[in-house]
Structure 1
Amino acid sequence: MFDAQTEHHGTSGIDLVDVDGDGDLDIVATNGDAMDWNLPDDIHPSDIHGLSILTNDGNGSFTRDEIVGVWGAYASTMHDVNQDGNLDIVLVCIQIPQQFPEIERTPLLILERNGTNWDRIDVDMDEIDHMITIVSTGEHLLVGSHAPSSPEGGVNRLAMLTIITPE
């Protein structure tokens, strides 16, 4: 669908969702898997890691839009976080402090839809020791967690579960 043009792209997750509301599935893709620890010193990880949307034209072709650059981008899900009728994106990152100790960590962020643009909201996790959040819309559960794996950092996980209720 597209050529990343770098061996350090680090594809980490995809989510199929109708982002533009035209009835076909688009791809929300994260890339930030840097577990091989071999990124050259002259490349900033946020320049090649992040979240992109590949918009489906309905005929099997996709147009890629880079939405945000953030190192360690690992998984995302779409949910109307602010209940304004637009799907927002919740993005979690695996950012091991020892890997890039000089770079600020952003383990969890929200991309709030603002028309055709996305506003980035960083969630401050510094004061949170352990957090589990569950939001229910009646049809979906948005489950996110943050738990420190060491005093220097945490590992974040995010899942979207669809609940089917028998009629």
Structure 2
Amino acid sequence: MYEYIHGKVIEYNYQINMKKTFQFSLCGQCYNVLVKLNSKAKKKKTTRSPSPSISIAASEDRINKNEMSSEEDNKSEFVLAYKLFVKTADGISLPAKWFQESISTVDKFLLSVYNKIHLMTKDNTIMPSYYFMIFKTQKETGASTQLVDEQDFIKFKSEYTKLAARKSNIGIYVTILQPSITS
């Protein structure tokens, strides 16, 4: 595993001293890749192969393909249809609006919702820190999942795919916590 990380440090020109010990945590995808690499390395040590350079190249090729396919999965656009519900800081719920758009990243999605909030409230002073956003089916009651970062967005995409297959509508609920500056 050290060789893999050291190779990536050199490849991406990170300014990390690998002679010192350090602790780090990895996202789920990176961790899974490292676990697979580690288990493959142990298997290769216990079994002798007549051409180790070929098996190493093949495993590196598989890793690169896995990395590329996971990057493509994260970058691929999907069509998202949702109803946006906005509740203002003074407790008034605005009429919901139906939207459909192609989304590829969490940043583009959050920017899109941010612009739609400005459109619905007609208030350009509202900042993302003034509100929080959750998602759930429109008929669901109770707790829901907050939508803030990449990890939430990945979960949102998987749940959205399941709900779309069942033809359930999803709602994005925005609650504005802080009144705008113009109020």
- TM-score bucket of the superposed structures, by smaller chain: under 0.3
Q: Which has the higher strand share?
A: 1
Query: TM-score when scaled to structure 2?
Result: 0.24
Question: TM-score normalized by structure 1?
Answer: 0.25
Flag the structure with higher helix content.
Answer: 2
Structure possessing the higher relative contact order (Cα contacts under 8 Å, 6 or more residues apart): 2
